[in-house]
Structure 1
Amino acid sequence: MMRFFLGGSEMTMHTNTVNRTSSIKSKKSAYTKMHASQLSCHDLLEYLPCAIVIFYMHRVIYANQAATLLLRAETANQLYNKEISDFVFPDRLPEANRRIAAIESGSYRNPWRQEKIILLDGESIVVNLSSIPYTIDHKKSVMVFIDTTSLRYEHISELQNKVQALEKKEKRSTTLIDQLIGILHELRTPLNVIFSSLQLLEIIGKECNSQDNRTRTQKYLSYIRQNCLRLLRLIDNFISFSKINSEFSQLDLQQIDIIALVESIALSVTEYANQNSISINFTSSVSENVISFDPDKMERIILNLLSNAIKYNIRDGRVDINVASTSKEVIISIKDSGIGMHESLLQSIFTRFTQLHDSRKKDAVGSGIGLFLVKSLVEMHEGNITVNSKIGQGSEFVIAIPNNLHSKATPFPANLSSVNIDKKVDKINVAFSDVYNIKNRN
């Protein structure tokens, strides 16, 4: 102890030596710890699923396994010393260099962004990039994170959407094929009747010309006529359907008494109704109401609804037609006492190719276009149509169209009887071509 104090100079020298030794040991320890830390960090980076590349002086000094695979390199050494320009498109290179310089200086931290990069094999992909400043061996570097996970999810989502779209398209195609088969069946049925009737007429023609044969001839001629009208109706419906779908159909607006027109149509179909023991009843809250509408299209709307009201009615049933007017609308109601419809059908009844079901038959009937056309024609008049129906309690269709006059509408003859009667009869015959005598209806 005394030597320690008396030998001041010696003690000082000894103390300095101890301090230097301690400093060296401390530095070695710190270096060892730092090296160990770097090794741990290296191991961590190496096995991260995210691709990581470190750039120093705009050149690659490190790439982990994920980056090696992503950038299509065989080994990480193949990426060593590659320049930024090897991965960035020329038009994006100035911006990339600016970002790297800003990140190296610590003045900028790059958020995630999408970028298109070049791979070693010359291909290119879109990735998510993010960059941060990083110091390795006292070198200010830039660590770049390259992520494709979210893009893979987006790609998978996009593929799933495409698959779903294809499945929907295939389903629509299948539905369309089924619908076309149904339509072809509708076309084939009257043709079969016509062909069979012609064959019978050929047989009858070879026999003697008796009154019985003439009666039979008229019977089969009526079958031919009615089924020719059915074909005309189907063809007319498809033509109208095509025009509406292509937005080619237009209104021919005329100034007409809507009350007189609907009443005239109601009176014209009484023959078909009487054949089926069905009464037609027309009422109106006003005696006259001249508005603007397309008479041909309105006639088609009313005839279609009346045809259904009779076809799906019961023996000794009734059809009530009412026209009412408000300051804004003309409301036309057609109500029958028929078989009615299931509630589930009401949601899709006006959708194209939706076929009505007759509870007295196993299969759906009709082409599934009629009510779609009705709705389309009503909407062309800026109106709407609704339906109320219950099984066994009949159906009611209600049309509402604007109660107004257009200045460009053409004046129509006040007396509807001056309209071509033959043309009107032909329309009615076509509209009611699939209405047969009702037998054994409860």
Structure 2
Amino acid sequence: MFTKNQQFYDLIINRSSDAIAVISEGKYIFVNNKALEIFGTNNSSELIGNEFFDFINNENKEMVTQYVDQIYSESTTFISYECKIKGLNEKEVPVEIISSYILYNGNPSYISLIKNISSQKQINELENHVKENEKVISDTIEFNRQMMEFFANISHELKTPLNVILGAIQLLELPNNKGLSKSFDLTLNKYIGTMKQNCYRLLRIINNLIDVSKFDTGYFKLNLSNYNIVSVIEDITLSVADYIETSGVKLIFDTDTEEKIIAIDADKVERIILNLLSNAVKFTDAGDSILVRIEDKNESIIISVKDTGVGIPKDKLDIIFERFGQVDKTLSRNNEGSGIGLCLVKSLVGMHDGTIKVKSKIGEGSEFIIELPIRIVEETEVVESCLDQSNVEKINIEFSDIYS
């Protein structure tokens, strides 16, 4: 009876599709035919009596040691893990090993089921490659779609002021006897102003495109100096008060501190604030207000621009800082803009090691919140103001798509 059971046992073990091995005192004492195949031999004597860890990949030895210790300490537990074994033919094979504690001839041992998972690993790698390629394709398609939208909008943005300028020139070319003779000077000034404003619009678009290229190529640099950031923001805000209030929008400046010295690139900060104020007034109706506020957080300074305008839809909040992100992408939209202004703002804030976020609700308005870390550069003098004669020109450019 025992002989029949032994024969039955040997038949099952040796015909198993999985490798089976018994390890006692750290050495192989039994391996079946499938195990010989995995280890690259057909002679069991090449395995029997050899150290178990001699066939474990060096990178996996520490991990496998922990699992073996666990097998002996938790004698009724099945342990499963993956590792690489080194075959007698020097090939490394990825395997899954399921082990359990046993007594063999009265000695603490463990039996292991060893499964070659090379094919599964290859399938997983192929699946990962497919997913990665699908993502690359998807991202490329989305980028191309955004580019097409962007260039369609840019074409519209460039054509609009050019058409206005061309129309003004054509009117000025009309003979004086067709209605321009009586108030020619007034009409001339009006159309010159229109042409100038639309030239500023073109300049703004071109400046933004140039700056985007500078960011992409790493040529955009900061010129840091120590400024009283409160004075800088207040001066910028007051410099555009007349522009904004001609639209019937009230502009308010508030601060909880009078002085905070911080290293900034004043021109870039001016660009940031002018851009945010320009956006705010575009989407704020007459009779509403815009609040510029500074808050001292000791280790950082908070600058916020809050309007009571139309607000931004919740599903658009994540895209407004993207390069081509626009809340309204139709060519018939009410407000001009190429969709790269806020992308530049975020980049400029990031260059100062700062952050920018937006809070908004439809019908209640939006609040852009900038946080800049307090840092000082080595220099002897603190600059109180960053405004100069060119400031008027900068304001005209940044606000060029508002006034007509």
Q: TM-score when scaled to structure 2?
A: 0.68
2-side partners of 1:378 and 1:181: how far apart? Answer: 27
Structure 1 residues 159, 405: CA separation in 2 closer, same or farther (over 3 Å shift)?
A: same
Counterpart position of 1:4: none
1:313 Cα offset (Å) = 0.5
Name the counterpart of 1:343.
314
Q: Determine if the alignment matches structure 1 residue 158 to structure 2 residue 125.
A: yes
Match of 1:239 in 2: 210
Q: 1:249 to 1:185 in 2, by over 3 A?
A: same
Mark the CA change 1:342 to 1:40 in structure 2 (over 3 Å): closer, same or farther: same
Name the SS for the 1:356 alignment partner: coil
Q: Provide the rounded CA distance (Å) in 1 between the counterparts of 2:236 and 2:375.
A: 22
Which residue of the partner structure matches residue 276 of structure 1? Answer: 247
- Say if 1:224 and 1:45 are closer, same or farther in 2 by CA, change over 3 A: farther
What's the CA shift for 1:158? 1.4
Task: For residue 203 of structure 1, report the CA deviation from its aligned partner.
Answer: 4.3
Query: Is 1:355–1:364's contact at 8 Å kept on the other side of the alignment?
Result: no
Query: Match of 1:332?
Result: 303
User: Whole-Å Cα distance in 2 between the matches of residues 159 and 313 of structure 1?
Assistant: 53
Report the residue type matching 1:401 in the other structure. Answer: L
Shift of 1:147: 5.4
| Paired AA for residue 370 in structure 1 | G
What is the match of residue 93 of structure 1?
none
C-alpha separation between the residues in 2 aligned to 1:100 and 1:436? 92
Separation in structure 2 between the aligned mates of residue 224 and residue 153 of structure 1, nearest angstrom:
68
- Superposition pairs of residues 160-199 of structure 1, within 5 angstroms: 160-197=127-164, 199=166
Q: Distance in 1 between matches of 2:51 and 2:329?
A: 78
Task: Supply the distance in 2 between the matched residues of 1:51 and 1:201 (Cα, whole angstroms).
Answer: 88
> 1:193, 1:223 within 8 Å by CA — same for their partners in 2?
no
SS in structure 1 of the partner of residue 209 of structure 2: helix
Query: C-alpha deviations, 1:61-115, integer Å up to 9, x for none?
Result: x989xx8xx9xxxxxxxxxxxxx9xx79xxxxxxx99x953x2457769677445
Q: Which moved more, 1:193-202 or 1:425-434?
A: 193-202
What are the residue-to-residue correspondences of 1:2-401 with 2, within 5 Å? 49=17, 101=46, 103-105=47-49, 113-114=84-85, 128=95, 148=116, 150-197=117-164, 199-201=166-168, 203-204=170-171, 207-209=174-176, 212=180, 221-357=192-328, 366-401=337-372
Which structure has the higher relative contact order (CA within 8 Å, separation 6+)?
2
1:428 corresponds to? 395
**Higher-Rg member (1/2):** 1
| Residue identity opposite 2:210 in structure 1 | I
Opposite residue 398 of structure 2, the aligned amino acid is: A
1:381-403 deviation line (CA, Å, top 9, x unaligned) = 23333332211111222223234
Cα distance change on mapping 1:426 and 1:147 into 2, 3 Å: same
Contact 2:276–2:305 (CA under 8 A) maintained in structure 1: yes
CA distance, structure 2, for counterparts of residue 203 and residue 245 of structure 1: 40
Opposite residue 175 of structure 2, the aligned amino acid is: C
1:183 counterpart letter in structure 2: F
* Amino acid of the structure 1 residue aligned with 2:156: T
Once residues 106 and 405 of structure 1 are traced to their aligned partners in structure 2, the CA distance between those partners, rounded to angstroms, is 67
The whole-number CA distance in structure 2 between the counterparts of 1:146 and 1:287 is: 73
Two-structure CA RMSD over aligned residues (Å): 4.4
Q: For residue 350 of structure 1, give the secondary structure of its aligned residue in structure 2.
A: coil
The answer to which of 331-340 and 247-256 deviates more is 247-256
**2:70 counterpart residue number:** none
Higher helix content, 1 or 2: 1
Summarize deviations over 1:27-84 as a string: whole Å, max 9, x none: xx99xx77x97699669856x55599xxxxxxxxx989xx8xx9xxxxxxxxxxxxx9
Total equivalences in the alignment:
348
- Partner Cα separation in structure 2 for residue 217 and residue 117 of structure 1: 94
Provide the C-alpha distance between the structure 1 equivalents of 2:96 and 2:356, rounded to a whole number of angstroms: 57
The answer (yes or no) to whether the contact 2:295–2:302 under 8 Å persists in 1 is yes
| Per-residue deviation, 1:161 | 1.4
Return the letter of the residue paired with 1:191.
Answer: L
Alignment partners' CA distance in 2, 1:105 and 1:158: 36
Aligned residues of 2:85 and 2:94 also touching (Cα < 8 A): yes
Task: After TM superposition, give the deviation of residue 205 of structure 1 in Å.
Answer: 5.4
Gaps of 5+ in 1: 1-28, 53-61, 71-83, 89-95, 119-123, 131-144, 438-442
Counterpart of 1:139?
A: none
Could you say if the C-alpha distance between residues 287 and 379 of structure 1 is closer, same or farther in structure 2, counting changes exceeding 3 Å? same
Task: Give the unaligned 5+ runs of structure 2.
Answer: 21-31, 57-82, 98-112
Distance 1:217 1:154, change over 3 A: farther
Displacement after TM superposition at 1:310 (Å): 0.3
Supply the AA of the counterpart residue of 1:282. Answer: F
Deviation at 1:302, TM superposition (A): 0.7
Contact 1:115 1:129 in 2 (8 A): no
Letter in 2 for 1:405: I
Give how far 1:284 is off.
2.9
Question: How many Å separate the matches in 2 of 1:336 and 1:263?
Answer: 17
